[in-house]
Structure formats: C-alpha cells, structure tokens
Structure 1
C-alpha cells in the first residue's frame, strides 16, 4: 500500500505488537505507530524531510530521516510508499531512499538513472517507479517511463518501460502494474514479467490516484469543472462504473476515510489561490458535495481513521515552515501545529 493508493491515509494498524516470522510477538518500532508527515521541501534547497506525530501524546519528532541516518535526506519528497516491510521515500529530484519503518534506518536506495520519480509499486522482487522523464526544450515530458529495479532494497535501473506522458500513481495487482497516465488520460497496464504495457484504458479525465476496496480499484480523475471516480474490475482489468461529481478546480490531493467519504482539495490557482477542503459522499448514483473549509495555501490532506479526523497541510507559500490543521469530519478546527517545509502528505499507521 502507499500514500497515494490510500490517498494520503493508509490503513490504520490498531495493534500494539507485530508478529515476527517465528510467530513471536515483538514491540513495534519507534516510528511504527502514529502519523508520518511528508514535508516536500523547497525547490533548490532540496530540504524534504519526514516528521513523526504521536497523536496520543502530541509529541512531534522533526527530521527523523536525518536523525536516524546522520545525514540529510537531500531531495524533494514526492511520495511515501509502505510495501513489503519497507518504507520507500520517493524524491522527484531523482532518487528513492529505502528505510526500515520501525527505526527509519536506511536499508538501500535507487540513486541513478532516474529523472523525476513520482511514485512506486512492488511486484514480486521488483520495484516499479513512475517517472516523468527529462523535460524537453518546451518543458514537456515526451520520454516518461516506468523504471524497473530488480531487488526490494534498491539498486540499479534494469529497464525503462515507455508509457504516456506524466505517469503518477501505481497499483500492483497479481502479475500487473496499473499506471495512472495523467497527461493523456490513460490507464496503462504493465505485465510485470514481460515488463511491457499490455493494455490501455482511455478515460475522459486525468487519473491521479488509486484506492482499492473490496476487489474494486477506484480511480480518482480530475477535469476542469468536475471530478470523475472510475472503477476498475480487478478480476478482468476492465473499466466498470463511473461517477461524475461537480467539483471545480480539484487538485490531485485526496483522502479516503476507508468507508464511503472522500476529502478533496481544490484551488483556483494563481493569482488568487482560493482553496477549499471538500467532502464527497457517493451513495448509489447520487453524490453529495460539502465545503468544509476555505483558505489559501492548502497543500496536502490525509485522514486518521481511528479518530475520524482530517489532516490539512498548508505550505504557507514556502516562506519558512508549513502548518497542519486537524479538522473533525464536520469541518470544525481541532488544533493547528507547525510542520516542515511544504508539508504535502500523511501516512497513518
């Protein structure tokens, strides 16, 4: 599972002990419960980092990658992916750092032959990394790809699979990797053994995030004045039902509550930046849209399923550190606290 598959709110682990391969119980590591806050960092200074929040004690630990590895992360954080007892920190400045989720100690990396990584998925013993590829002279990305790495602890890129422009989220299912091709409105399906695209599904909006529930893969897609939730039947890898919801200026930022509610960030963009937190409830063929909060500078969103709380981050224009506001499901402000530079996502254990 990853931040984007669970749309910035991963499944909550409510037990206080983890089981080892021998069947014995061992205490969870220092960072294996609570909330990880992904701070993207500032372009140019590449100071992305991860904070850890204990929501029970309110203890906030900053810069835990640097604290545990005695070196800065030194990149712009794009995604955090929890897979196969490893946490993958994807930097769109050209690398993936791999850490143990319990103590945040580095266990490997992919540091070469990447351009602008966006997300990652694990299939068997392989890593698949979505990458915009290099910019051309017009800042287009005609050479986007999915990078393949043989080994869960990183290493070298063994192959680059050509895909449509600007691939975003990835989802692993069976022997397949499902790719959200955001610029050309496509879902591309890769055979993980052949390491090639075998099926393409055309959409009417730009797919950004995946979320799997009860054998159905939800696809969150964005158009100018609406969002569309597509479903993909995972047994046949075909499109199912679609739900169109009138939400203007939706961004790629969304969180699911694990049940039937979605929380989306909208923004009018430059120069006004009229932003909002919107709740979407789909029941049958009807959708209810409720505006919960308005403001400026909203940058990330997540959901704490145990406490039924929404986490909304604000970049504060990248002028110093950002902030995080915690909301109730009705939109009431519970608290606000300072985070790192450009907080953009949350991983809730």
Structure 2
C-alpha cells in the first residue's frame, strides 16, 4: 500500500510538472501583435505608404516598421491590411501585395507582378484571392476588373484571373462562396470557390464597398449621394435579405463598427472646403443618432477600439507632409493626438 501511495504521489507530481511546463511554454506575443497598427496610404507618385505601430498603454510610436524590419521601403500606395492564416497582408493599389509575419513584420513573400490596381484580399482553401480593378480604359473606367488567384499563402505568381463586375473592393468568404462588393457596377458578385467561376451578380442600391458582421448577421455597406445602405446578406444564397436605408448626405466609404450595434461614418463636403464630421448611426433601424459626433477637416480614416471604448480618427492634412491620428472617447471628446505617416487611412487593432 505504501508503494502504491508513493507511486500515486509521483504521478501527481509529474502531471503538475507537465502542466506547469505546458503553461510556461506559451509563446509571448510578438513585437507587433499587441497595440495598434496604423495604415499610412502614402502620396500619389511618391508611393511612400508605410505602417506605424502605436502602443496605447505606453504611448510609444514606432514608425516605418516594414522598412525598419526588412531593410527596404514598402514602395507602394498602401490600400489595405489583412490578417489571415498567421500572416499579415499589405495590399498596395499600385499592384502588389507584401506578406509579413505579424509578430515581427519580417517578409515572408510577395505578389509583385500580374496585378493592376489591387484593393483587398481574402484567403480560402490555402489560396489568396485579390480584388483588382484591372487596367483603366481610355476614359478611366474599369471594364476588365477581376479577382486574382494566387495558389500559395506566401505569395508568388498570379495563377488565374476571375472576371467580375467593375471595381471590386471588399470580399467575404461564406462557406464555399466568395462574396464581392463591386463599387462601380453597384453589384454584389458571388463566385464559387469550388469552380472559381462567377455564379451571379446581384444589383445593389448604392456603391458597395465592404462587408461587416454585427449581432451574428452579415452586412454589406453601400452609399450614394444622399443615403447609406446596410444590406443584410442571406448567408446561404448570397442574396440580399433586407436593406436598411439611412438618410445621410455626404457619406463616405470610411466607417467603423462599434461594440453596441452602431456604426460611425465619416461625412465630407469634399474639395475645396472639406467640412467633415463623424456620424453615429443605428444599424437596425437606420436612425442617425448624432450627425456630428466630431467635426474637422481632412478626416480620412476611422476605427473603434472596443477594449478601450475609443474612437480613432485620421486627418490627412491635405497630404502635405505627415498626417495626424486623433483619439476620442466614445462620446467624441478629444483625448490625444499624435503625428502619423503620409495619408493615414485606417487601423488594425490588436489585443492589449
């Protein structure tokens, strides 16, 4: 009995040791996996887009992190930043995609040829699908838009181009279907991921730009000169299940989802006055709760940090030098500002 008791004690000690080893073996977060990534679009012609990192707890900023980690400039106009499959994809609308490790921004690969005016991407079935306007025609229209397919997650060659409606923007993977917002055509395109063929094009009110989820529902954001539209998508068929119309003149395609079923939308009079504001809108009934949560000039990008209940805005400062990041509380009261890169246009929020 004493031997059995000693054996049981030894087993318990070993299990405790292995448990401690397992807990202690968890990898610490990488340098850029916490905090906030700031997308700086860059200036047309200069192609000086870059990414900054901001730590809201320490108040520290690291600039040009792609160049500092890879020894070369990004060299493009940064359009989007997508995290997927343990990778971070930097999409330039100048026709390339850089793939980096989200922990340290070290380069893993790229797509540097075969693209024209790339806008965003998703991954599915171990492939990359890149939305691209295609080349301009003589009248600067985009009749030959496509989704570029790359067969490796770390980039490489464009293996196929799927023709879609004019000017595809954001995309969403739902089951074996790829949903695509085609802004110029005012259509929702649906592509089969099994056959990589266009299944259908659905007419949309407004110019669609981006998908988002709220309350377990999938929406497509669209707008025109006087209204914003929240199109709820039937996840099975890819059709429009319901549309909420919001009377919001001067709306832009720049919006952010909050943590309570509301959307923050930048409105702008445009050139030459640029009287800009942030409107707060209810998703469910389309009510404009506040048309001017914050006002300014040159408001360009917006995000909402759910853990900190803060609104993040960018001011492009007319692309004359560097832009500015403006941090507000959830009611729109300014808390802090700091200098960003050229043309700051968006954020990616990580855990803090």
The answer, yes or no, to whether TM exceeds 0.5 is: yes
State the shift of 1:243 in Å. Answer: 0.8
**Pair 186,289 (structure 1): closer, same or farther in 2 beyond 3 Å:** farther
RMSD of aligned residue pairs (Cα, Å): 1.6
**Residues 156-189 of structure 1: per-residue CA shift (max 9 Å, x gap):** 0011111111111011121111100101111001
State the shift of 1:25 in Å. Answer: 1.4
State the shift of 1:217 in Å. Answer: 1.1
CA distance in 2: counterparts of 1:42 and 1:285, whole angstroms? 35
Match of 2:68 in 1: 67
**Pair 95,22 (structure 1): closer, same or farther in 2 beyond 3 Å:** farther
Match of 1:32 in 2: 33
2:142 is the alignment partner of 1:141: yes
CA distance in 1: counterparts of 2:286 and 2:90, whole angstroms? 37
RCO greater where, 1 or 2, for CA within 8 Å and sep 6 or more? 1
State the shift of 1:251 in Å. Answer: 0.8
Q: Which sections of structure 2, spanning at least 5 residues, go unmatched?
A: 1-21
Match of 2:324 in 1: 323
Q: Which has the larger radius of gyration?
A: 2
Q: Which sections of structure 1, spanning at least 5 residues, go unmatched?
A: 1-20
CA distance in 2: counterparts of 1:252 and 1:286, whole angstroms? 18
Point out the structure with the larger helix share.
2
State the shift of 1:284 in Å. Answer: 4.8
| Aligned partners of 1:282 and 1:288 also within 8 Å | no
| Aligned partners of 2:110 and 2:154 also within 8 Å | yes
State the shift of 1:214 in Å. Answer: 4.7
| Aligned partners of 2:279 and 2:288 also within 8 Å | no
| Aligned partners of 1:215 and 1:233 also within 8 Å | no
User: Secondary structure in 1 aligned to 2:283?
Assistant: strand
Give matches, 1:1-349, under 5 Å.
24-284=25-285, 286-349=287-350
**Pair 334,242 (structure 1): closer, same or farther in 2 beyond 3 Å:** same
**Pair 283,231 (structure 1): closer, same or farther in 2 beyond 3 Å:** closer
State the shift of 1:31 in Å. Answer: 0.2
Greater Cα offset, 171-180 or 49-58 = 171-180
State the shift of 1:24 in Å. Answer: 4.5
Match of 2:4 in 1: none
Q: How many residues get paired? A: 329
**Residues 239-296 of structure 1: per-residue CA shift (max 9 Å, x gap):** 1121111111111101001431111111111222111111112345755343111121
CA distance in 1: counterparts of 2:159 and 2:81, whole angstroms? 22
Moved over 3 A (4+): 21-24, 282-287
CA distance in 2: counterparts of 1:125 and 1:24, whole angstroms? 28
Q: Normalised by the size of structure 1, how large is the TM-score?
A: 0.91
**Pair 287,322 (structure 1): closer, same or farther in 2 beyond 3 Å:** closer
**Residues 195-244 of structure 1: per-residue CA shift (max 9 Å, x gap):** 11112221111111110245421111001111010100213322112111
